[in-house]
Structure 1
Amino acid sequence: MTNTLRFPPADPATAAAFFAAELAFDADPEDVVRDLRAGTAAGFQLVETRGAQAFADARIPTAINLPYREVDETTTKDLDRSLVYVCYCESFQCNAATKGALALAGLGFRVKRLSGGITAWRAAGYPVEGALSGATCAC
């Protein structure tokens, strides 16, 4: 038996449900940039969940900065609850986006996480604003 098939695949209906559920939690950078370029990003807001210095250094255009450590009722009181908040951080190796999304969801906001963070965004050649002084995680 092959290693790949040692554990049998799920039936198609179970696989479809799993992958649909996975997509409910993550947004692809390409989908986000297409919406931004087309002007169809009205239903979501990008949220940089790293610290203020990281946001100043490099951020995705239109993003707001809400460091995950600061997410609470006070810092979110002016956020539009009808929007989906797409949280991002540095990369797959950083979990600030996950922590930010968790905190926002705990306060009743609808959330997604941007796959790969700003590192994947930059690697794809998408626009970045800020001083661009580096790509270190300043969570």
Structure 2
Amino acid sequence: MPSLVSEYPAANPSDASLHFRRRLAFETDCSDVQRSQLSGEVDYVLVDVRSSEAFALGHVPGAINIPSRMISAQRMAEYARQTLFVVYCAGPHCNGVHRAAVRLAELGYPVKEMIGGVTGWLDEGFSLVGENVSALGNGVSCAC
């Protein structure tokens, strides 16, 4: 009797390669973002899509704040169409990051999700910057 792991056979290696390459085209992780920042290889715009209030309390260093509801052609006009945006929200329990990614993609911009968001960033042991980072643990809504 096969284990729960092998009950469904793994994909053939070429299909697996294609699948995981596609995932990497849509997402990055907190560690890769932090490493790129430390090395000075920041070739993207990191966007916190939470409310301005949540952003002010604490956010990933180097991020700008464009709440997902504020992403529009007018707001994004200052960026060249080839600008890569990396978006994040509160964490895996929030779909505001997906709304923001849809809006950016529909405006013609390349976009990736930083999986984990603020929760993932903190889980990795990285620090936030802001006015009152400790308040984020008190149920502050991302309001996305």
TM range (shorter): over 0.9
Correspondent of 1:134 among 133, 136, 140: 136
Within-5 A mapping of 1:77-96: 77-96=77-96
TM-score, normalising length: structure 2: 0.90
Q: Which has the higher helix share?
A: 2
Secondary structure of the equivalent of 2:94? coil
Partner of 1:105: 105
> Any gaps of 5 or more consecutive residues in structure 1?
none
Matches within 5 A, 1:1-139: 1-41=2-42, 43-131=43-131, 132=133, 133-135=135-137, 136-138=140-142, 139=144
**RMSD of aligned Cα (Å):** 1.2
Equivalent pair of 1:26/1:113 in contact (CA under 8 Å):
yes
Please say if residues 94 and 137 of structure 1, whose CA atoms lie closer than 8 Å, have aligned partners that are also in contact. no
Aligned residues: 138
TM-superposed CA distance for 1:8, in Å, is 1.6
The percent identity for this pair of structures is 33
The one-letter code matched in structure 2 to 1:117 is G
- Give how far 1:17 is off: 0.3
Give the partner amino acid of 1:2.
S
Taking the aligned partners of 2:25 and 2:41, their CA distance within structure 1 comes to 19
TM-score, normalising length: structure 1: 0.93
Q: Kindly state the Cα deviation for residue 5 of structure 1 after the two structures are TM-superposed.
A: 2.1
Of stretches 128-137 and 100-109 in structure 1, the one that deviates more from structure 2 is 128-137
